[in-house]
Amino acid sequence: MRKHRGMLYFPHRLQGPLLQYTEFEAPAALRRHVQCLWRLRDPEPAAQPQTIYPDGRCELIAHLGAPMRRYTLAQGWKTQARCLFAAQLRSAIRLAADGPVDCIGIRLQPAASAVCVGRRLSSLVDDVIDLDSIDQDFATHLFDAAIASNTDSECTDLWRLLQMRFGDLPLDARVESALVTVDAAQGGITVAALAAETNMSLRSLQTRFLTAVGLTVKEYARVQRLQATLRQLDTAAESIAQLAAASGFSDQAHATRELQQFTGLTPARLRRALRAERHGDETLRMAAAFVRGRG
């Protein structure tokens, strides 16, 4: 990690020099609303469909290159819009490139998930939406600012636009506190314990959390526990049984069921795939970039 013109810069190059994933920390005035800005570029993307795992964050995404296609059971493969709002996800999604990939994304803080869509956030779970359908004017400005950021390493226009749009929007401080606790525990906390920790009733916590984040407390905690397990599978030497115990699963079979639902792979296959990605397996290039970026 190093400083890059006043911002934190995290380069992640996977599978040779072509794919590059980079994160930029948000300015101080935006950090309650925006976790980071990221850039994903790959002039020669893998032919295989890619898998992306949920991380408990909603995102705004602008495709500067060819928009990727997303697979759903209802519609099959469908080309995405140039500007997207990616709502909360509870399971992996599949993407396929149709040409050079060049995306700029704004990863929102979990407590700021509803800043674009308001109280209907929870009804959009597991969806990725054309931003034009939410706010056409904002979508146009976002795309223009993303284009300008292509030649501005400090992303000045994007940060200015986001400050104007989100900077003064109030957030639920109690939910922010609850999120800090869940993240610190890597999802390993019960709803009752979280309510006591944040001095809220169960009902108040559950209602306010769902409104602000778009997931229930249990769903969000599950995503964080599984994300932590993914990072451990990618880097740790311990056995899968040991990792399952450390992550709070009741046993290895429990971890296997949860990870298979979350990623489509058993822990053993996922570990092999992540490690093979370092040596030529292209099917997890994007997933590995995001998993390692968050880690």
Given this model, what pLDDT does residue 276 score?
Answer: 62
Joined tokens for residue 23 = 């994160």
Q: How far apart are the first and last CA of the chain?
A: 12
Q: What is the CA radius of gyration of the chain?
A: 19
Distance, CA of 44 to chain centre: 23
- Distance between CA 279 and CA 163 in Å, rounded? 41
Q: Long-range pairs for 178-186 at CB < 8 Å and ≥24 separation?
A: 178/205, 178/209, 178/217, 179/110, 179/111, 179/213, 179/220, 182/217, 182/220, 182/221, 182/224, 183/224, 185/221, 185/224, 186/224, 186/225, 186/227, 186/228, 186/247, 186/248
Note the helical H segments in the chain: 136-149, 156-166, 173-184, 191-197, 202-213, 217-235, 240-246, 252-263, 267-277, 285-294
Whole-angstrom distance, CA of residue 159 vs CA of residue 6: 13
Stretches in the chain below the pLDDT threshold 70: 1-17, 275-295
Question: CA-CA distance, 273 to 161, in Å (whole number)?
Answer: 39
Question: Please, which residues bridge with residue 39 across strands?
Answer: 22, 104
Instruction: Provide CB contacts within 8 A for 67, sequence distance 6+.
Output: 79, 80, 81, 82, 98
Backbone angles phi, psi at 200, to 5 degrees: -125, 155
Q: Are 81 and 130 in contact (CB under 8 A)?
A: yes
> CA nearest 172: which of 206, 215, 209?
209
What is the reported pLDDT for 2? 33
Amino acid 135: pLDDT: 95
Q: What angle do CA 226, 231, 233 make, to 5 degrees?
A: 90
Three-state secondary structure call for residue 16: coil
| Full-model pTM | 0.85
The answer for residues whose C-beta is within 8 angstroms of residue 208's C-beta and 6 or more apart is 172, 174, 175, 200
Q: Which of 50, 51, 66, 57 is nearest to 85 (CA)?
A: 57
pLDDT of residue 219: 95
Closest of 120, 57, 118 to residue 88, by C-alpha: 57
Long-range contacts of 177-182 (CB under 8 A, 24+ apart): 178/205, 178/209, 178/217, 179/110, 179/111, 179/213, 179/220, 182/217, 182/220, 182/221, 182/224
The pLDDT tens digits of the residues spanning 245-295 come to 777 777 778 878 887 777 777 777 777 777 665 544 455 566 666 665 553
Paired tokens of 76: 């099959």
pLDDT tens per residue across span 76-98: 999 999 999 999 999 888 899 99
